[in-house]
Amino acid sequence: MSDLRELVRGLGDCPGVYRMLDEGGVVLYVGKAVSLRKRVSSYLRPAKSPRIASLMAAVHHIEVTVTHTETEALLLENNLIKTLRPRYNVLLRDDKSYPMIFLGGASDFPRLGFHRGARREPGRYFGPYPSATAVRETLNLLQRVFPVRQCEDSVFRNRTRPCLQYQIHRCSGPCVGFVDKESYAQDVLHTLWFLEGRNKTLLGDLKRQMTEAAARLDFEQAARLRDRVALLAAAQERQYVDNDKGDADVLAVAEDRGVLVVAILAIRGGRQLGCKTLFPRVPEAMSAGEALAAFLPQYYLGQSPPTHIYIGTPVPGREWIAQALCADSGHAVTIAVPARGIPRRWVALAKTNAADALRRRQAERAGHSARWAAMIAALGLAAATRVECFDISHTQGELPVASCVVFGPDGPIKSDYRRFHIEGVGAGDDYAAIGQAVARRYAKAPLPDLVLIDGGAGQVARAEEALRALGRQARVLGIAKGPERRFGDEEFHEPGRAEPFTLDHAPAALVFLASVRDEAHRFAITGHRARRAKARLVSELDTIPGVGPKRRQTLIKALGGARFVAQAELADLERLPGISKGLARRIYDIFHAKGEPCP
């Protein structure tokens, strides 16, 4: 502690980020400060909570990074938390990028589409949305109202005739010149207004254009504009929302017995798009306001936050967080606790969703805890903190994939799930596949209390053999479906037992082990399907003489995928660099001779 006091004396009264490390150099906590000296020195006083006391008992030294501004400190703190994942910080379990809507591209005819991931392409990004379904519903509505193209640029550049979207009046056909730049730009502008939530401006402009079209006796155009106004008005009425001040997110927090949930109600373009609930990992004794203050930067930095963020719990440093989000996104962002009006009703709705999600999560945890205890008792385990289960999936021996799922006392630990692409075994040899998966898993990973195998005595024997070859030992148990393959008739195989046994006397334990087996089965199947789809994506091209790896990549990149290569016209193929007319004819003939325009 004396070394820490010496460090504090040397700190300046300036903004920055501090990292608390243990004796082994592992980062325990990352924090930001307006004044590093004042903030770090506060930890040297008697701890006001068990969480701080536990943290300081483990801290060996502190490292600091000085920044120019408070906003820079917040941005750096967010990046370090996501990179280092310290155990005393609030951590988002769901750290995937969130779905967004993209409008733009390097073209005179911008595209509208679904986006997830890094924002590399020039254009506007709207979101994050609560789910991929919400994005697709919004895109579907926009496609019905404003015929802006939603195809990839590679497809757009290589079209020679309009696609089905043009035929059903959901695209204006810019790929073949059926719409001029001015008219298309007008549709893009209206789409932009819709996504920005400027609904009154949008409806007013459409009505003005409708009146002008009728005045010049262009009744067909007036009718089209009338239909657009009706679609937009109906969409707004269904949502019971009256907001023309931009998009909004509404956040509410609920907490019970160490479990905290954040409910996010999304309002986009004046429409409610549903509610998403997240369960961040929160250190003990942290208040809801502190947790929400830590959650906001992690969720929104690097994304495109809405103009308004309404919260149901006051948070420390609210203005600071809003300034950082504004600097990061390039547009104004406000964070407020509404006291009246529609935003207050939104907050109440978000709180209801948070409380409901927390109640369901606690009920699930209680049920899981009871089944976990029953499993320990039924199998005679002294104690257990980790169960891992293996399964194999393949199609008639093709491209086998092994899964390993992990469960603990609180439920599945999905961050520890693993898949293994099985290589070098005979087709359909599940015994060898299980042996390879177990050997690869535990070559370095710690052993669980129970290794569960989806299979019978043969699979169990190979799993145990693989562990012996590694010089390791663990409890191995196989779970196999009974003769009728019905749930509840499972038989269990264990080394050293001549006959399988059942758990009819312990139904809760049976339900738990069967659910773990089913999760391993699901995880293996999804992995196998993805591997098989990837392998078959280019298999057709691999069979064409003259198409090697480089030309295959040229075709796929230029046309947007193997299925578009199969659909391409001869003229499209001949225009591609590195593809001669003879090779283009060969590719075209192979796909079209089969009568399979889409492989």
pLDDT tens digits along 55-108: 888 888 888 887 777 777 887 787 788 778 888 887 766 545 678 888 887 578
Q: What average pLDDT does range 466-479 have in this prediction?
A: 93
Please state the φ and ψ torsions of residue 85, each to the nearest 5 degrees. 50, 60
Q: What average pLDDT does range 378-398 have in this prediction?
A: 89
Q: Is 427 helix (H, G, I), strand (E, B) or coil?
A: coil
Q: How confident is the model at residue 595 (pLDDT cuts 50, 70, 90)?
A: very low
Q: What average pLDDT does range 560-570 have in this prediction?
A: 72
Structure token pair of residue 20: 């608390």
How far, in Å, CA of 541 to CA of 564, rounded?
A: 12
- Contact assessment for residue 490 and residue 503, using Cβ atoms and an 8 Å cutoff: yes
Which is nearest to 460 in space by CA: 415, 501, 509? 501
How far, in Å, CA of 390 to CA of 469, rounded?
A: 18
How far, in Å, CA of 105 to CA of 100, rounded?
A: 15
Buried b or exposed e, range 206-225, using 16+ CB within 10 angstroms = beebbeebeeeeeeeebeeb
Instruction: Name the pTM for this structure.
Output: 0.57
The β-bridge partners of 167 are: none
Q: Can you give the pLDDT at residue 60?
A: 82
Q: Can you give the pLDDT at residue 487?
A: 72
How do residues 14-58 score in pLDDT, each as one tens digit? Answer: 888 888 888 888 889 998 888 888 888 888 888 767 778 888 888
The yes-or-no verdict on residue 272 having pLDDT over 80 is no
C-alpha distances (whole Å) from 584 to each of 255, 262, 568, 573 are 63, 55, 10, 5
The yes-or-no verdict on residue 476 having pLDDT over 80 is yes
Cα 39 to chain centroid distance, Å, stands at 34
Q: Can you give the pLDDT at residue 228?
A: 80
- Contact assessment for residue 518 and residue 484, using Cβ atoms and an 8 Å cutoff: no
Q: Can you give the pLDDT at residue 246?
A: 55
Q: Can you give the pLDDT at residue 177?
A: 87
The yes-or-no verdict on residue 362 having pLDDT over 60 is yes
Q: How confident is the model at residue 435 (pLDDT cuts 50, 70, 90)?
A: very high
% of the chain surpassing 70 pLDDT: 90
How do residues 373-387 score in pLDDT, each as one tens digit? Answer: 999 999 998 888 899
How far, in Å, CA of 268 to CA of 242, rounded?
A: 12
For residue 400, cis peptide bond before it (omega within 30 degrees of 0): no
- Contact assessment for residue 40 and residue 11, using Cβ atoms and an 8 Å cutoff: yes
Collect all residues with Cβ–Cβ distance below 8 Å to 500 and sequence separation of at least 6.
456, 457, 480, 491, 492, 493
User: What SS3 string covers 490-505?
Assistant: CEEECCCCCCCECCCC
Q: Can you give the pLDDT at residue 235?
A: 60
The yes-or-no verdict on residue 214 having pLDDT over 60 is yes
Mean confidence (pLDDT) of the chain: 83
The yes-or-no verdict on residue 593 having pLDDT over 50 is yes
Domains in the chain with CATH codes: 2-84 (3.40.1440.10), 100-239 (no CATH), 248-357 (3.30.420.10), 387-534 (3.30.420.340), 538-593 (1.10.150.20)
Number of Cβ within a 10 Å radius of residue 41:
16
Q: What average pLDDT does range 142-165 have in this prediction?
A: 85
Best-predicted range by mean pLDDT among 240-244, 295-299, 301-305, 563-567?
A: 295-299
Q: Can you give the pLDDT at residue 244?
A: 45
Q: What average pLDDT does range 397-414 have in this prediction?
A: 90
Q: Can you give the pLDDT at residue 239?
A: 45
